[in-house]
Structure 1
Amino acid sequence: MHIAFIIEDWAKIDPVNSSTLAIVKECMLRGYKVSILYTTNLTVRNNTVNGFAKTLKIEGKIPESIIAFYKKCTYDIKLIALHAFDCIMVRKDPPISPIVFNFLDSVKNETVIINDVDGIRKANNKLYTTTFHDPGNTYLPKTHVSGSKKYIHKIIEESNDEKMILKPLDGSGGRGVIVLEKNATSNLNSLLDFYIDDSGENYVILQEYIEGAQNGDVRVMMLNGKAIGAYHRKPADGEHRANIQTGGSAHKYTLTESQKKICAKVGKRLVSDGLYFVGLDMIGDKILEVNVLNPGGITNINKLSKLKLHKDVVDFIEEKVHEKVEKRVELEYLLKRLSDLRE
């Protein structure tokens, strides 16, 4: 089996904390060929979509240490047709150019893509949660999205909340997330000027501040519609963002029964959209964000809860590839039968 990972930059991987690297290593331990692709290196040659792939290799035994594994990996670069991969896993931070989805569209019927191209296209930004249809805010916070500075001002003025969260529609890792206090909005115009330009194409999210947010949030890893693990992210002193990239710390966490029910409910929708490997960010019983492109957390959950979630992910990849092969064989058999009947 040949598996490709679309990532940002192999040279900038943090081996200790990279969920992607843990999955890559597991694939290679099982004897699979692994290649790395960058979105900037996708190309079309004679109407066929290709990628300049870095195919990984290791001389001798694969080291147990993830750091040693990363350092020992070398690669050959070769132009490979995307349909030659058994699976393509998208592991790049958002946003992703719509053109990349067009490249992947060409092979989505031949190759397993995780997550599904149409699902990623639908959930490529934080508007995706609006498709969950939770007007009563039972498991989603009150959320407003607009590219109009005037409208954002109006929502803040009408709100009874003392605090609100302002963040860009596209973004990851906690970048651009700020807490707005209603009695201290003198700099709001400057903030909105930074987020929204005159093109009308930049949007911001204004979201209710959930009680308990000061203590951080919970990252839940979802695989095939099921919660397979979670951990608590606590913000650093003087920081309101709990993301590990912004200095947050990781702590063991067990989902509550109500959180499990919410994850199961949302999980059905995720699977129906082809979003199999997803990270949910929760505070209490509210889902703040759905991360479908490059959700991290496997390494922290593994260490804290003594799990091996990367093995579960590779098991799932195997399952989807075998499923695709079986469908192809079945289709070829039906086509042959039809041809025989015509003769």
Structure 2
Amino acid sequence: MKLCFLMYPWERVEPDGDSTLRLIHEAASRGLTVAITTPNNLTVRDSVAHAFCNVLKKTPKVSSNVGSFYQRAEFKRCKLPLAGFDAIILRTNPPLDTVALNFLDSVRNDTFIMNSLDGLRVANNKLYPASFTGDASRYVPSTHVSKSREYLEQVLLDSPREKMILKPLNGFGGQGVIVVEKNARQNFRSLLDFYIGAENSSNYVILQDYVDGADEGDVRILMLNGEPIGAMRRVPAEGELRSNIHAGGREKKHILTREEKALCRAVGPQLVRDGLYFAGLDVINGKLIEVNVLSPGGITRINRLNRVKLQAQIIDFVQNVVSAKNLVAERKNAFRKAIEDAEII
């Protein structure tokens, strides 16, 4: 099987905790062909989408140590047609590169793309949880998104809660997340001026109900094909609201509660319908705060806390999907051959 990882540059990989590296290492350990590329290396030649790829050179034995594997990895530079890959795994950091998705649109029927392009388009920012309906909607805190300073000021004033969460719509890694308190709302307009910016280059911001317990951290749940496969609790550093690891948070072992399992059952079907086969849920006190679909992390830390190997389950899933697609294609070709033979007789 031939895999292409559309990701951030190889030199930016952090071997100790990088989830993408674990997936690449697992694929290489299975003897699969692995190529990596970045959005900037996508190109079109003769109306065919290609990518300038670094193809991992195969070795008789792949080191079981991921750090050693990363340091010793050797690549061959090639320009390759994207349709020739059995699967393309997107692992780029936010914000979503819509131009890169336009390149991939031309091969969506030829290769399995995880996550799906349409799913990424609807779920790449913090608005996605607001789209959940039915039972899933009760797990989403009240959320307001706007560029209007006057509207957001009124939302804060009308809120029955003493504090709310303010954050940029397209932020990631906990960037720009702050608590806004009613008793300090005289500073709120200045904050909105900073977050929204000038009129000709204004940004949307999110104002969301503060969920009790947020100061104690959140739970990251990794979902595969609509089912939870692992979780960890992230605890913020002292004096810090954000529990993201890149913001100084630390991880702790976590077993899903009954309410968190119910949340997963409620949102899992929509993730699958939208083609979001691998996603990270951020949950606080039973409320869904964010859905991460571009490059959900946490594999390394959950592995270490629970002595599991989540990357094996994920590559298993990709291989099973590709095998099923190939079987369908083979059956179709066999049926077409039978019809052609019947025409000759």
Q: TM-score range by the shorter chain?
A: over 0.9
Indicate the residue corresponding to 1:43 in structure 2: 43
Rounded to whole Å, the distance in 2 between the matches of 1:136 and 1:48 is 41
For 2:76, the equivalent position in structure 1 comes to 76
User: What is the CA–CA distance in structure 2 between the aligned matches of 1:339 and 1:258, rounded to whole Å?
Assistant: 56
Question: 1:247 matched to which residue of 2?
Answer: 248
Q: For 1:199 and 1:135, how far apart are their aligned partners in 2?
A: 39
1:260 aligns with 261
Who is 2:227 aligned against? 226
Q: Which amino acid aligns with 1:270?
A: L
Query: In the TM superposition, what are the counterparts of 1:299-338 in structure 2 within 5 Å?
Result: 299-338=300-339
Q: What are the within-5 Å matches in structure 2 for residues 150-299 of structure 1?
A: 150-196=150-196, 197-199=198-200, 202-299=203-300
Residue segments in structure 1 that go unaligned for 5+ positions in a row: none
Q: Which residue of 1 aligns with 2:89?
A: 89
Residue 104 of structure 1: aligned partner: 104
2:51 is paired with a residue of what secondary structure? Answer: strand
Change (3 A) 1:143 1:292: same
Matched, 1:52 2:58: no
Preserved CA contact (<8 Å) 1:89 1:115: yes
Alpha-carbon shift at residue 136 of structure 1 (Å): 9.6
Distance 2:226 2:45 in 1: 37
Q: Say whether the 8 Å CA contact 2:130–2:140 is kept in structure 1.
A: no
Give the secondary-structure state (helix, strand or coil) at the position aligned to 2:184: coil
Q: Which has the larger share of helix?
A: 2
**Aligned twin of 2:147:** 147
Please tell me whether the aligned partners of residues 119 and 275 of structure 2 are also in contact (alpha carbons under 8 angstroms): yes
8 A contact 2:136–2:263 mirrored in 1: no
Between the aligned residues of both structures, percent identity stands at: 45
Distance across 2 between alignment mates of 1:340 and 1:192: 70
User: What's the CA shift string for 1:298-341, capped at 9, x where partnerless?
Assistant: 11111001111111001001101101111222232343344455
Q: Which amino acid aligns with 1:324?
A: K
The alpha carbon displacement at 1:84 in A equals 0.9
Q: What secondary structure sits across from 2:252 in the alignment?
A: strand
Q: Secondary structure at the match of 2:251?
A: strand
In 1, are the aligned partners of 2:136 and 2:266 still within 8 Å (CA)?
no
Matched residue type, 2:263? I
Partners of 1:81 and 1:199 in 2: how far apart?
39
Provide the aligned C-alpha RMSD in A.
Answer: 1.7
Shift of 1:8: 1.3
**Residues in 2 aligned to 1:89 and 1:182: alpha-carbon distance in whole angstroms:** 44
Deviation at 1:200, TM superposition (A): 6.9
Letter in 1 for 2:124: N
- Residue 148 of structure 1 contacts residue 200 of structure 1 at CA under 8 Å; is this kept in 2? no
Counterpart of 1:138, as a letter, is R
On the 8 A contact 1:147/1:200 being kept in 2, the answer is: no
> CA offsets per residue over residues 219-238 of structure 1, 9 Å max, x none?
00000110011000000011
- Going from structure 1 to structure 2, the CA distance change for 1:134 and 1:169 (only over 3 Å counts) comes to farther
Any unmatched runs of 5+ in structure 2?
none
The 2-side partners of 1:18 and 1:58 are apart by 21
Seen in structure 2, the aligned counterparts of structure 1 residues 150 and 341 have a Cα distance that, compared at 3 Å, is farther
Which 10-residue stretch deviates more, 235-244 or 88-97? 88-97
- Give the alignment's TM-score, normalised by structure 2: 0.95
* Aligned 8 A contact 1:6 1:38 in 2: yes
Deviating above 3 A after TM superposition, structure 1's stretches of 4 or more consecutive aligned residues are 134-137, 334-343
Change (3 A) 1:191 1:335: farther
Q: Distance in 1 between matches of 2:326 and 2:213?
A: 47
Distance 2:310 2:318 in 1: 13
